[in-house]
Amino acid sequence: MSAASALLKSEARLLARNPGVVIWTAVLPVTASIVLAAIPAIRRPDDSLGGLSFFQVYQPILVLFAITLLAVQALPDVLTRYREMGVLKRLRTTPVSPALLLFAQLALTMIVSVACMLLMVIVPALAGAAWPANTAGFLLAYLLAAWALLGVGMVIASLFRNAKVAAGFGSVLFFVLMFFAGLWLQRPLMPTWLRHISDFTPGGAAAQALTDSAVGHWPGLLHLGVLAAWGVVMSIVAIRQFSWE
């Protein structure tokens, strides 16, 4: 077995033995999206939401809820603890780069968040909610959102040496990102100035890009561009700042 696949398998096994974070991340948004989809009134278009149904507005937010929680809480928590414990330093003593462990963790986080996303799209569709009308656009928006948000998570893992501090910062950031994504005040209901700010945050841009493709449009270039820019900048910062010990 190659080192990369052995490491991925080992990390997956460790994740399965500490399922708490994943369960906590997945259960709330997945359950919420299924429950919302099951209520017919919520699937009905609403003029106050710009002609969208409450479900159509909320589904992207819940999809983002899961990946944001994984990206800014679970991922930095694991990586900062590995650094504190000296796991990364020990890997550095071997012919294998510790970067392989980062990729394994990124891959696992991505697999779990895609699984959550699929559950949140497929199960409601089976319950009678709409399937994302522009599937390709939805996937494109999702992948760019994942890049931007995982990038933010990697920056947290790079900047904070202490797992507890990283977790605290991650929680605060989670609420900020989700606020702009419209968890409490949906984007159609935001005042114009607030929506403009939201457009330039990873959460807001991702929510709009996912919503647009869910109702059949292509995501706007502005939102895709914002997500890509966050992805690029966060990746560069994370790589520059990261240290093994």
Partner 1 sequence: MSIIDVRGLRKVYGTRAVVDGVSLAVEEGEVFGILGPNGAGKTTSVECVGGLRRRDGGTITVAGMDPATESTAFREAVGIQLQESRLPDKQTVSEALELYSTFYCHPRDWRELLERLDLADQRRTYFGRLSGGQKQRLSVALALVGNPRVAILDELTTGLDPAARREVWSLLEDLKGTGVTLLLVSHFMEEAERLCDRVVVIDHGRVIAADTPEGLAAGVAADERVSFVPSAPVDPAVLEALPDVHTVSVSADRMVVTGTGDVAAAVIIALHDRGVSVTRIRVDQPSLDDAFVALTRI
Q: Based on the shown chain and the rule CB under 8 A, indicate whether residue 243 belongs to the binding site for partner 1.
A: no
Among 32, 39, 87, 107, binds partner 1 (CB under 8 A): 87
Q: Considering the rule CB under 8 A, would residue 115 count as an interface residue with partner 1?
A: no
Among the residue ranges 93-101, 112-120, 160-168, 186-194, the one whose residues contact partner 1 (CB under 8 A): 93-101
CA quadruple 101, 171, 31, 207: dihedral, nearest 10: -90
Among 32, 92, 99, 199, binds partner 1 (CB under 8 A): 92
Site for partner 1 in 54-83 (CB under 8 A): 82
113 burial type by CB count under 10 A (0-12 exposed, 13-18 middle, 19+ buried): buried
If binding is defined by CB under 8 A, does position 240 make contact with partner 1?
no
Interface residue with partner 1 among 34, 38, 49, 96 (CB under 8 A) is 96
Backbone angle region of 50, left / alpha / beta, with phi > 0 → left and psi within -120 to 50 → alpha: left
Give min distance, CB of 1 to partner 1, in A: 6
Least CB distance from residue 25 to partner 1, whole Å? 18
Query: Is there binding between residue 19 and partner 1 (CB under 8 A)?
Result: no
> For residues 68 and 62, what is the distance between their CA atoms, to the nearest angstrom?
10
21 forms part of the interface with partner 1 (CB under 8 A): no
| CB of 158 vs partner 1, minimal distance in Å | 19
1 binds partner 1, rule: CB under 8 A: yes
Residue 92 or 195 with smaller CB distance to partner 1: 92
Residues in contact with partner 1 by the rule CB under 8 A: 1-3, 6-7, 10, 13-14, 17-18, 82, 85-87, 89-90, 92-96
